[in-house]
A = this chain, B = another copy of it.
């Protein structure tokens, strides 16, 4: 794998799928993805973790792992999560984004795709 020639601009960068399908197919947006994103953004900010050198909470289009939606991915660790409610988001923020500990119970199964 390529080694980055740059220092990490964000120590952790989490992307939430907020895709809204218009064709009637299921999608993360139908499963409270936006609420999860908003909660994460607010909690990261409240914890003083937001910004360069720290954490960025990002909107994303379809991450193409819809069967496990709503989903989010944390880079550079490439850890994929599925979440249900605000408690799940709070645990991801406190455990992973703040302290670097992966939340095992919320990991997306490796075989989950579209």
Which A residues are within 8 Å of any B CB, using their own CB?
Answer: 1-10, 13, 15, 18, 52, 56, 58-65, 73, 75-80, 96, 100-102, 104, 107-108, 110, 113
- By DSSP majority rule, is chain A's interface helix, strand, loop, or mixed? loop
Given contacts A110-B7, A110-B9, A113-B52, contact A2 B79 (CB under 8 A): yes
Given contacts A58-B15, A58-B60, A110-B9, contact A1 B100 (CB under 8 A): yes
A1, B76: Cβ atoms closer than 8 Å: yes
Q: Nearest Cβ distance between residue A39 and chain B, in whole angstroms? A: 16
8 tightest Cβ-Cβ pairs between the two chains A and B:
A59-B61, A75-B75, A2-B100, A76-B76, A76-B78, A4-B77, A2-B77, A4-B78
Q: Nearest Cβ distance between residue A21 and chain B, in whole angstroms? A: 14
